[in-house]
Copies of this chain bind each other. A is one copy, B any other.
Amino acid sequence: MLSERRLEVLRAIVQDYVGTEEPVGSKALTERHKLGVSPATVRNDMAVLEDEGFIAQPHTSAGRIPTDKGYRLFVDKLAGVKPLSSPERRAIQNFLDGAVDLDDVVGRTVRLLAQLTRQVAVVQYPSLTRSTVRHVELLSLAPARLMLVLITDTGRVEQRLVDCPAPFGETALADLRARLNSRVVGRRFADVPQLVQDLPESFESEDRGTVSTVLSILLETLVEETEERLMIGGTSNLTRFGHDFPVMIRPVLEALEEQVVLLKLLGEAKDSGMTVRIGHENAHEGLNSTSVVAVGYGSGDEAVAKLGVVGPTRMDYPGTMGAVRAVARYVGQILAES
């Protein structure tokens, strides 16, 4: 195990490097931190830390920079989560309170996160499968054409067109609407399929085809939308990546464009508690020089979706984690209210 002072040296290296973006040497360390020992001693400690793989030198005779493993140790053992200042908290609340609908909530959240962390923010829309049904609406657009509208407790709305095999009367429509709602309102989306399974049987034979069609489109929507939607923002913060950024930024932008990649990224995060993935811990290789800080959020106890930020491994972990956690909490509150 590393001695107390060596950990302290590592912490100092991480902090300085995050601040200056330049390899940090033994002398500078002793000047900026009160370690109580001389540069020579620090050099010895650094040699040990390097042997253990926590830090590395970009070139011989340069200072050291933390490795992914070094950041990992820093995050796990050396750094706490820095709580936000109360003006910041108030700003968050004010900003989120102005939202008029779900799109707006998500949009504001993304902007907020990006601004607070000065990194790229990713927010997943509340998941359908983990939400409950608030209402199912059926509208008649034409004699044989319906519109199906799903509304969740988190305010999300999905709509689909349904082409009926046969004309469908207003009374049958009202009937179907009523039965559908009585069965599924307040239930989880995941349970919907089995709840509506036997519905067609209770209809006149001439309407059964349409009822089945409606139900199959309903189920299809649930499946399709299980691939969740998400919103990203703050991509211009990528320009603060570092001097070598032209080469780094390309794969990151590409990864960010692939919703699938991002969803997988958030999916890998633990359901509860905050997840930090550092550099090569990310499966996608375009993100090997980035870190991802993600956390679940929800209207109740349970997470209905996740949000987080993507930034350079060289990031202010305590501050970022604090901001991510705070935003997730407030968004949860907002969703619970609506």
Is residue A73 contacting chain B, with contact meaning CB distance below 8 A? no
Stretch at the interface among A45-53, A132-140, A191-199, A291-299: A132-140
Find A157's partner among B155, B159, B224 (CB 8 Å cutoff): B159
Of residues 202 to 247 in A, which have CB atoms within 8 Å of B's CB atoms? 221, 224, 229, 233-236, 238-239, 245-246
Question: Which residue of chain B has the shortest Cβ distance to A181 in the bound complex?
Answer: B139
Is residue A254 contacting chain B, with contact meaning CB distance below 8 A? yes
**Complex Cα distance A159/B233, Å?**
23
Question: Which residue of chain B has the shortest Cβ distance to A103 in the bound complex?
Answer: B229
Of residues 133 to 180 in A, which have CB atoms within 8 Å of B's CB atoms? 134-135, 137, 139, 141, 147, 149, 151, 155, 157-161
Find A257's partner among B141, B159, B160, B234 (CB 8 Å cutoff): B234
Is residue A101 contacting chain B, with contact meaning CB distance below 8 A? yes
**Complex Cα distance A321/B236, Å?**
27
**Complex Cα distance A221/B146, Å?**
24
Q: Which residues of B contact A236 (CB under 8 A)?
A: 250, 253-254, 256-257
**Complex Cα distance A101/B157, Å?**
12
* A232 vs chain B, min Cβ distance (A): 10
Find A137's partner among B137, B234, B235, B245 (CB 8 Å cutoff): B137
B interface footprint on A240-282 (CB within 8 Å = 1, 0 otherwise): 0000011001100110110000000000000000000000000
Is residue A100 contacting chain B, with contact meaning CB distance below 8 A? yes
A158 close to B101 (CB less than 8 A): yes
A160 close to B234 (CB less than 8 A): no
**Complex Cα distance A236/B253, Å?**
5
B100 close to A160 (CB less than 8 A): yes
Q: Which residues of B contact A161 (CB under 8 A)?
A: 155, 338
A250 close to B239 (CB less than 8 A): yes
**Complex Cα distance A103/B239, Å?**
29
* A201 vs chain B, min Cβ distance (A): 27
B157 close to A157 (CB less than 8 A): yes
* A153 vs chain B, min Cβ distance (A): 10
* A156 vs chain B, min Cβ distance (A): 9
Known contacts A137-B139, A159-B151, A224-B100: A235-B250 contact under CB 8 Å: no
* A40 vs chain B, min Cβ distance (A): 39
* A306 vs chain B, min Cβ distance (A): 20
Question: Which residue of chain B has the shortest Cβ distance to A259 in the bound complex?
Answer: B107
**Complex Cα distance A232/B245, Å?**
22
A137 close to B159 (CB less than 8 A): no
Q: Which residues of B contact A257 (CB under 8 A)?
A: 233-236
Q: Which residues of B contact A157 (CB under 8 A)?
A: 149, 157, 159
B253 close to A239 (CB less than 8 A): yes
* A115 vs chain B, min Cβ distance (A): 11
A-B contacts besides A155-B159, A236-B254, 8 pairs, CB < 8 Å: A100-B221, A134-B141, A135-B147, A155-B161, A157-B157, A157-B159, A161-B338, A235-B235
13 contacts between A and B (CB under 8 A): A100-B221, A103-B229, A137-B137, A137-B139, A137-B149, A155-B161, A161-B338, A235-B235, A235-B253, A239-B246, A245-B246, A246-B246, A249-B249
Which 8 pairs between the two chains have the least Cβ-Cβ distance?
Answer: A236-B253, A239-B250, A236-B254, A157-B159, A135-B139, A235-B253, A246-B246, A236-B257
